[in-house]
């Protein structure tokens, strides 16, 4: 039998599948050795990995998608723990990139009237919740007073023990749209009202909400 590159690849793939547990145990026992080996061969290994990634873009994309679907809960908990441990790092990153982000938002407001309306609504709602401004027109659209909105949010399944009325806002928690603003029809007054109704609002950690918002705003 001719031992071609493809056959060797197939054999190794099958071997790894059959010996998953063994490989897992081996890596756990040889953590220090693997660490030293990587440090000694960092340049070569990084170059090889980079080349492999470029050649296998679609495969990696598909694998990541499948892995994320299978490990949703794990990733949710991991990200939550990471954000809690790295609050200062995240805060510093946001400060360092504040000008760039503000410039992007200003440009988006100028060119996208729907984005501008959403930003104005969020600002007015925050002002009402923080007691800076009554914003009665905004609260009328939401369908309740600021006090009633707080009560609604506090009764949400997403409300966490560390959340308080005092730590609402930057660095604490935000009001998040269950169905994002981008998913509603922009030209329909009824859908606009439903989007901002209190039934579509829930509490969410500030950093998580920023990430979610950035993802939907780019769509």
Domain ranges for the chain: 90-217
How far, in whole angstroms, is CA 155 from its chain's centroid?
23
Residues 136-163: tens digit of each pLDDT: 788 888 888 888 999 999 999 999 999 9
As given in the structure block, the two tokens for residue 56 are 């296998």
| Over residues 64-93, mean pLDDT | 83
Give pLDDT, residue 218: 45
Give pLDDT, residue 155: 94
Query: pTM for the complete prediction?
Result: 0.50
Please state, for a pLDDT cut of 70, what percent of the chain lies above it: 92
Residues 101-124: tens digit of each pLDDT: 788 878 877 887 667 767 778 888
Q: How confident is the model at residue 134 (pLDDT cuts 50, 70, 90)?
A: low
Strand partners, 202: 176
Rounded alpha-carbon distances, angstroms, from residue 136 to 118, 129, 130, 148, 152? 16, 11, 14, 13, 18
CB 191 within 8 A of CB 184: yes
3-class secondary structure, 133? coil
Q: How confident is the model at residue 215 (pLDDT cuts 50, 70, 90)?
A: low
CB 207 within 8 A of CB 83: yes
Residues 45-64: tens digit of each pLDDT: 888 888 988 888 888 888 88
Long-range own/partner contacts, residues 74-83 (CB < 8 A, 24 or more apart): 79/208, 80/205, 80/208, 83/205, 83/207, 83/208
* Rg over CA atoms, the chain: 24
Instruction: Name the more confident of 160 and 213.
Output: 160
Q: What is the CB neighbour count within 10 angstroms for residue 37?
A: 12
Instruction: Find all residues with CB under 8 Å of 94, minimum gap 6, and list them.
Output: 101
The torsion of the CA quartet 39, 40, 43, 47, rounded to 10 degrees, works out to -90
């Amino acid at each position: 039998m001719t031992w071609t590159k493809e056959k060797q690849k197939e054999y190794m793939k099958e071997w790894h599948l059959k010996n998953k547990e063994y490989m897992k145990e081996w890596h756990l026992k040889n953590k220090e050795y693997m660490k030293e080996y990587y440090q000694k061969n960092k340049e070569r290994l990084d170059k090889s990995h980079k080349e492999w990634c470029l050649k296998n873009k679609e495969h990696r994309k598909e694998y990541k998608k499948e892995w994320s679907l299978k490990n949703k809960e794990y990733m949710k908990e991991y990200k939550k723990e990471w954000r809690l441990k790295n609050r200062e790092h995240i805060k510093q990153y946001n400060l360092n990139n504040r000008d760039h982000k503000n410039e992007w938002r200003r440009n988006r407001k100028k060119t996208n009237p729907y984005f501008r309306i959403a930003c104005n609504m969020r600002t007015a709602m925050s002002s009402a919740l923080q007691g800076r401004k009554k914003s009665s027109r905004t609260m009328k659209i939401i369908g309740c007073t600021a006090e009633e909105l707080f009560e609604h949010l506090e009764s949400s399944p997403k409300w966490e023990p560390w959340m308080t009325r005092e730590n609402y806002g930057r660095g604490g928690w935000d009001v998040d749209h269950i169905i994002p603003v981008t998913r509603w029809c922009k030209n329909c007054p009824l859908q606009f009202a439903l989007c901002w109704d209190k039934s579509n609002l829930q509490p969410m950690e500030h950093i998580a909400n920023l990430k979610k918002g950035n993802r939907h705003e780019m769509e």
